[in-house]
Chain A
């Protein structure tokens, strides 16, 4: 055993070695971090902050709170009022605010805010604020006489909630909930557009992933087993689509799939379908699926190929020599070894498909639209907070998938070309 009084190891200038090493290591750490720092700051400022803004926006809307100050302060003073029977003073504050909205021209803004949770409010507000100046007290009776909808508990719940600038309401709306007289409830089946679209997006992405896998598997296998010289040439077929502009590929699919397009021309030309029987393959789900499968196929082939490339062919030969049939060899020996590639490719294709925008926007039409297109449509209609809430929900789904990808495959294994 070493002596307990063993002298401390030191560097040439007499510092304890352990300490000197720790200093050197932390300096190296700092240096490495300093190299990454500029990019990190750039990404935080131009990527994380905008996403943070989106999240903030999804909780924020001052359309009603800013234009109805009297009613907002009444709601603050009476948080426990009965929405089924609000008192006269609440109606008085409401009429005061409606008159102000008419002057300040904020009726549309305020109405639109309530309209998210209680549809039909914009027209109610417009009518109310036009008449507000001439309404005689008691305001409760005269306003309800103007339109009985002013007594609806759902409306009062909606206004109470909208009197706060910050709200979780947009997440309710984006989950197809409706504000009824008794509070938030699930909307009717035919009105469930957002969850339906999320569901549809995931199903379609799943279909595209499976199609990509089925098409990529034989091709990757061929590329991995051919001699280098031949596979290099065939690899161009995979890499060229990868390098070609997405808009070019989408344009080609329009030229191919439309009713007067190449595919229909060919089918009519060889007599498979008649001139009147031209198929509609575009501006519907078929268009989205076909074009997106084409666009995402290289993302499946490349990871599969790189896994298959390193599977030793001797395993399959050994299985055959031990008496396995070719099918058993494939199922029990080859396929399990390709699983890492299948997982990597499928997850990547699925993640990219869930967030796809351009292809469904151009060839999907109304039927082939995905959740991204809904976000864009809401942005276009100035429903910013709702768009932000849907975007935040999509982001949450993507982050779960991304985390899964990192766990299973590791992001540093991501390769291009």
Chain B
């Protein structure tokens, strides 16, 4: 909003106040996220900026080092040879948490994206029966408080067991807990995170499909393509940006999820958010700030990826502007 030339002095003053207010709100939005970056380089453990924070010479990577050495058996100052690094890879607490988070996130995303994309294709067909009701159900994991979902899953997953010595149990047993249950198992966490990610996939893919020309499918059929070819050669390229950004949302949801993990996971399923949550609850170590900084960098990269995808999608669909 530019100021019109006929604005009175009062309006002019209000306009500048308005700009200042907007600036403060933007500061409120962004400052808390950026503040962790300088804090994570502060070698003191007092969690504060201190007087020296303007002096880059005092910066230290001490808390980043903690991420590698926590849970590590070697003493301080040990030689960092290949055995040292191999132990970091296999033993260090934060590295294990990162690996768990990554794999759980990956499988939850795959599950949510495949099921969600196929369902979104059905939901955006005009013939779909009970569309509104089903849509409401599929979006509801985003609306229903996470604590309710977590409580329900903790009740149900403790009962959802297969005897480990049965035929099915022998096949799926590796994905389940020692007792053959979904509770305390990787599969349980993956399923829970997939449920939480599905609404995002549904929303982004159906948004890409609005304005999708259904006659393209008929055109493909009339030109002799079978449903499979139609899907991979016609539909998929057009909805791919939406699918990928839905998948990114699902991955981030899983990567950031702690409540379901707290309620249904066992001690083996230690993830980054759980580690952070417990760290904040028990004793706030500045190592959490270095994890936070790394996560901020990751989210900046993800934001850029999604923004590029959105632009590509708009271009493909012939939409201009936002």
Q: Using CB atoms and an 8 Å cutoff, list the residues of chain A in contact with chain B.
A: 25, 28-29, 31-36, 38-40, 42-43, 46-54, 57, 215-216, 218-219, 221-222, 225-226, 228, 234, 236-241, 243-256, 258, 260-262, 265, 294, 297-298, 309, 320, 326, 351, 354-358, 361-362, 372, 375-376, 379, 384, 387-388, 391, 394-395, 398, 402, 405-406, 411-412, 414-417
Contact = CB atoms under 8 A, between A and B. Distances in A.
Contact of B280 (A49, A53, A250, A402): A250
A379 B154 contact: yes
A246 to B, nearest CB: 6
B244 interface: no
Contacts of A357: 145-147, 259
B163 interface: no
Contact of A40 (B119, B136, B203, B256): B119
Given A225-B1, A252-B36, A255-B289, A50 B200 contact: no
Contact of A33 (B25, B122, B148, B155): B122
B30 A218 contact: no
B33 interface: yes
A39 B116 contact: yes
Interface residues of B, number: 95
Interface of B: 1, 4, 11, 14, 18-19, 21-22, 25-26, 28-30, 32-33, 35-36, 39, 46-49, 115-116, 118-119, 121-123, 125, 127-129, 132, 134-141, 143-149, 151-157, 159, 191-192, 194-195, 198, 200, 203-204, 206-207, 245, 249, 252, 255-256, 258-259, 263, 273, 276-277, 280-281, 284, 288-289, 292, 295-296, 299-300, 302-303, 306-307, 310, 321-322
Nearest to B130: A33
A36 B123 contact: yes
A252 B32 contact: yes
B148 A251 contact: no
Given A38-B118, A43-B138, A415 B207 contact: yes
Contact of B295 (A34, A234, A248, A414): A248
Nearest to B246: A416
B28 A294 contact: yes
B148 A395 contact: yes
10 contacts: A31-B122, A32-B123, A47-B140, A47-B195, A218-B21, A247-B276, A249-B32, A251-B36, A356-B145, A417-B245
Contact of B39 (A215, A255, A388): A255
A218 B22 contact: yes
Contact of A243 (B119, B132, B252): B252
Contacts of B195: 42-43, 46-47
B296 A39 contact: no
Contact of A254 (B25, B159, B191, B280): B280
Contacts of B292: 245, 247-248, 251-252
Which of the listed residues A34, A228, A372 has the most CB atoms from chain B within 10 Å of its own CB?
A372
A411 B48 contact: no
Contact of B122 (A34, A50, A406, A411): A34
3 nearest A-B pairs in the assembled complex, by CB-CB distance: A355-B145, A35-B122, A50-B152
Contacts of B159: 53
Contacts, number: 267
Contact of B145 (A354, A361, A384, A406): A354
Given A50-B149, A216-B25, A254-B280, 4 more contacts: A35-B123, A40-B119, A248-B299, A251-B289
A411 B35 contact: no
A50 B35 contact: no
A372 B49 contact: no
A247 B198 CA distance: 21
Given A39-B138, A248-B296, A262 B127 contact: no
Contacts of B4: 320
Contacts of B146: 355, 357
Nearest to B307: A239
Contacts of B322: 228, 309
B207 A387 contact: no
A372 B147 contact: yes
A85 B73 CA distance: 68
Contact of B119 (A39, A252, A361, A412): A39
A238 to B, nearest CB: 6
Contact of A262 (B22, B35, B128, B307): B35
A53 to B, nearest CB: 4
A50 B196 CA distance: 14
Given A43-B138, A252-B35, A256-B35, A262 B49 contact: yes
A51 B148 CA distance: 8
Contacts of A39: 115-116, 118-119, 138, 198
B98 to A, nearest CB: 13
A372 B145 contact: yes
A198 to B, nearest CB: 13
A226 B3 CA distance: 12
A218 B25 contact: yes
B15 to A, nearest CB: 10
Contacts of B156: 49-50, 53
Contact of A29 (B39, B129, B152): B129
A362 B282 CA distance: 10
Contacts of A358: 258-259, 277
Given A29-B128, A53-B155, A355 B144 contact: yes
Contact of B258 (A28, A215, A221, A247): A247
Nearest to A54: B152
Contacts of B153: 46, 50
A185 B231 CA distance: 63
Contacts of A247: 256, 258, 273, 276-277, 280, 292
Given A43-B198, A246-B256, A54 B148 contact: yes
B289 A234 contact: no
Contact of A245 (B123, B136, B204, B256): B256
